[in-house]
């Protein structure tokens, strides 16, 4: 399963990143850099080839690359972020996608779409209606992925769909039923336990802030790698936000 992981190092203005549902806290740039390096190392240890998007020191939210592109069946859908300040982040991600030889298409005005609102589970694509993703963006994504079943999902008090729910290797959805109304949710022990990156096979990546959920998933037979991303969590970031995995 492992392939390419798109990532981008946090720039010196990361503490200025957009905060919507949390109280702003100071962010330590040096610690964020160290945490990002360990995050990338965890991906590489699992067999993923890390490819770094061009640095964007003037764009505080730059390390949250997931929001800039959705990759499905080797088609890259370049997004149109709902936050205008983040739209300049797309160009450098698009350049790397082109360098990798992946066909790309774009979400167009008036549609808005953040990659953090897109959860792919098998042939189903759940898309959150959020402050960053509108109905037009969802409609365009559905048209661009005709072989997938696109399912809009309403959210409650959370930035992105994948801030509330992700999926385990067997397709089980893990998330907070107070934030998202989806059937059959496995409820994590901590809020950050809803965020799982699939590394291949039974391996998953989670935040160190979810140790009880980690133990729960280990009891289900999963091989869990924990990484500390505390500085990114202060900006409503999670483990899924910091990479785009391309098989």
Closest CA to 120 of 171, 176, 74, 184: 171
**CB atoms < 10 A from the CB of 215, how many?**
11
Tell me the C-alpha distance between 229 and 233, whole Å. Answer: 6
CATH number at residue 171: 3.75.10.10
What proportion of the chain, given as a percentage, has pLDDT over 70?
A: 100
Total domains present in the chain: 1
What is the tally of helices (H) and strands (E) in the chain?
5, 14
pLDDT tens for 166-201 read: 999 999 999 999 999 999 999 999 999 999 999 999
**Rounded mean pLDDT of 27-42?**
98
The DSSP 8-state label assigned to residue 210 in this structure reads: -
101 Cβ contact list (under 8 Å, min separation 6):
none
| Residue whose token pair is 């133990």 | 215
Tell me the C-alpha distance between 22 and 15, whole Å. Answer: 13
The DSSP 8-state label assigned to residue 84 in this structure reads: G
Residue ranges making up the domain that contains 193? 4-246
Give me the torsion for CA of 212, 213, 217, 218, rounded to 10°: -30
Q: Are strands 244-246 and 4-7 parallel, antiparallel or unpaired?
A: antiparallel
Which tokens hold the place of 94? Answer: 């698009």
CA distances from 121 to 11, 25, 140, 150 (A): 32, 34, 19, 10
Catalytic residue set: 160, 241
Is the pLDDT score of 8 beyond 90?
yes
Q: Is 17 exposed, middle or buried (0-12, 13-18, 19+ CB in 10 A)?
A: buried
Q: pLDDT-based confidence at 161, cuts 50/70/90?
A: very high
Q: pLDDT-based confidence at 225, cuts 50/70/90?
A: very high
Q: pLDDT-based confidence at 1, cuts 50/70/90?
A: low
- 117 contacts 161 by C-beta, under 8 angstroms: yes
pLDDT tens for 103-156 read: 999 999 999 999 999 999 999 999 999 999 999 999 999 999 999 999 999 999
Q: From edge to edge, which strands make up the β-sheet containing 124-129?
A: 118-121, 124-129, 149-154
């Amino acid at each position: 399963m492992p392939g390419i992981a798109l990532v981008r190092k946090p720039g010196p203005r990361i503490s200025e990143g957009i905060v919507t549902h949390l109280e702003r806290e100071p962010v330590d740039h040096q610690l964020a850099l160290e945490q990002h390096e360990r995050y990338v190392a965890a991906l590489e240890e699992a067999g993923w080839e890390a490819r770094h998007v061009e640095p964007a020191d003037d764009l505080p939210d730059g390390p949250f690359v997931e929001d800039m592109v959705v990759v499905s069946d080797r088609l890259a859908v370049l997004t149109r972020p709902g936050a205008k300040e983040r739209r300049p982040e797309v160009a450098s991600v698009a350049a790397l996608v082109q360098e990798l030889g992946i066909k790309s298409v774009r979400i167009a005005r008036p549609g808005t779409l953040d990659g953090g609102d897109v959860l792919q589970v098998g042939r189903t694509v759940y898309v959150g209606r959020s402050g960053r993703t509108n109905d037009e963006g969802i409609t365009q994504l559905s048209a661009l992925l005709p072989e997938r079943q696109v399912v809009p999902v309403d959210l409650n008090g959370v930035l992105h769909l994948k801030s509330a729910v992700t999926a385990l290797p067997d397709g089980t959805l893990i998330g907070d039923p107070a934030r998202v109304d989806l059937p059959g949710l496995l409820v994590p022990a901590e809020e950050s336990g809803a965020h799982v990156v699939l590394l291949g096979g039974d391996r998953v990546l989670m935040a160190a802030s979810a140790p009880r959920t980690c133990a729960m998933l280990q009891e289900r037979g999963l091989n869990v790698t924990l990484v500390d991303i505390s500085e990114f969590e202060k900006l409503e970031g999670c483990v899924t936000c910091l990479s785009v995995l391309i098989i």
